[in-house]
Amino acid sequence: MLHEMSLNINGETYPVVVKSHDTLVRVLREQLGLTGTKVGCGNGECGACTVLFDGAPVNSCMVLAVEAQGHRIETVEGLSQGGDLHPLQKAFVEHNAVQCGFCTSGMLMSAKALLERNSHPTEQEVREALVGNLCRCTGYIRIVDAVLDVAEAGS
Amino acid sequence: MRPFDYYRPETFEEAFRLLTLPDKRVMPLAGATDLIPMVRDEHWQPDVVVDVKGLPGMCDVVEMPEGLIVGAAVRMVELMHHPLVNSPRWNLLAQAAAAMGNEQVRNRATLGGNLCTASPAADSAPALLTLEAKAVIRGAAGERRVPITEFFLGPRKTALQKGELLIGVLIPAPPVGAVGTYVKLSRRKAGDLAIVGVAALAYPHDGGHVWCLALGAVAPTPIRASEAEAALNAGHDEATIEHATKCAFDACCPIDDIRASAEYRKAMVSRIARRAIEGVLAKLP
């Protein structure tokens, strides 16, 4: 079954035709070419596919594309503005918070949602906000430091 | 993923028409956090999925004279923060919602989905068992209410008949002074299913206390530990607590799975039950 609809992604409207069983991440990556969002486990454990759905982090591998109609979707591609990296992206670079990079876009989106609801999180709150994002490389310390750095810079 | 057709009805009449389509395997969809992985791995093979999130009342939390009505499509994140759910009367359910999954999952997963998947490890179930909730079920023929103890029939089996929907849960207000605690043991502190989950609730009565204790992930369905409750109702000195944890141990019949052996689960039921009981005692005035 096909659904002719539009998706609001990073503030832009994309007309799409999706199948009922298409997941949001599949449409983002394979139809719209927004491949910054990654697919890891497909079970809601790794968080590599995290996007913001009306501002809240969700696993885009567990949302049907058709369910996203009428909602505001943000992906990692929407972070940089006018060629300037988002403060979180800059901090990830400065802190070397990236090794293989597969978890990075999901980490950035979860961190963005955290800082939007709590601009001064404690280290514990940062760690709790990133529970749903697995990183097999960094040991998390540099990622947590990068997020805390942005929180402090914004104070 | 195996193809299916998706509908999002806005009336119950239309929902029941879709749910009873002849010769079709039809499944309701709420948060989709169970449905999508299950379809992808071909455990479930629906021809049609019916999104229930647009149906009247499904996303509402309403206080009624008989208790709190929580719509089946209310999400875990909403249970955590809703001023009525996260109030002294019902915060055991808010605690259970906070223990479930991770933020991304709690932002999609719903109370109704957690119950209808009927995993013995469902975090919301022990809390609802101790709160003596009722499942509110609606079908083309009308509405019925089923005590939550009778809603779970076995792993992934519920009292829902074909064409029926769980539309919400009715949670009576516990007696004044009730306090509750949910304690969950899992392989990591967050983002995992329970190896053992224990909800404990107690309220003052007749100079003593009445206890409710429910166990998750240690039997084919979530269960009440009635002998442990009876023991605690008589008092809560150390010997009685020890006896109650043994009753909880005897009440369970867990299985081996990827998360833990049956033997480990049995050993941990007593420990986690003790933590839940002590958690309640610490909150009692």
Do the Cβ atoms of B197 and B121 come closer than 8 Å?
Answer: yes
Looking at this protein, which amino acid is placed at residue B223?
Answer: I
State residue A155's pLDDT score.
53
* pLDDT, tens only, B170-189: 999 999 999 999 999 998 87
State residue B251's pLDDT score.
94
State residue A152's pLDDT score.
85
* pLDDT, tens only, B94-133: 999 999 999 999 999 999 999 999 999 999 999 999 999 9
Mean pLDDT value across chain B: 96
State the average pLDDT over residues B206-229: 96
Query: What residue ranges of chain A have pLDDT lower than 70?
Result: 155
Domain extent listing, chain B? 5-44, 61-171, 179-283
Q: Which of B5, B102, B104 sits opposite A20 (nearest CB)?
A: B5
State residue B60's pLDDT score.
98
Q: Which residues of B touch A20 (CB under 8 A)?
A: 3-6, 49
Interface touch B4/A21, C-beta < 8 Å = yes
Interface touch B4/A57, C-beta < 8 Å = no
Interface touch A44/B77, C-beta < 8 Å = no
H runs (alpha helix) in chain B:
12-19, 35-40, 76-81, 91-99, 103-106, 111-117, 124-130, 148-151, 226-233, 238-251, 262-283
The CATH topology of domain B61-171 is 3.30.465
- The residue among A64, A103, A110, A125 with the most chain B CBs within 10 A of its CB, best to mutate, is A64
SS (H, E, C) chain A: CEEEEEEEECCEEEEEEEECCCEHHHHHHHHCCCCCCCCCCCCCCCCCCEEEECCEEEEHHHCEHHHHCCCEEECHHHCCECCECCHHHHHHHHCCCCCCCCCHHHHHHHHHHHHHHCCCCCHHHHHHHCCCCCCCCCCCHHHHHHHHHHHHHCC
Give dist(CA B239, CA B156) in Å, integer.
Answer: 37
Q: Which residues of B touch A66 (CB under 8 A)?
A: 6, 8
The CATH topology of domain B179-283 is Enolase-like; domain 1 (3.30.390)
The domains located in chain A, with CATH, are 2-78 (3.10.20.30), 87-153 (1.10.150.120)
Looking at this protein, which amino acid is placed at residue A19?
Answer: K
State the average pLDDT over residues B254-269: 92
Element (H, E) at B9: none
SS (H, E, C) B138-177: EECCEEEEEEHHHHEEECCEECCCCCCEEEEEEECCCCCC
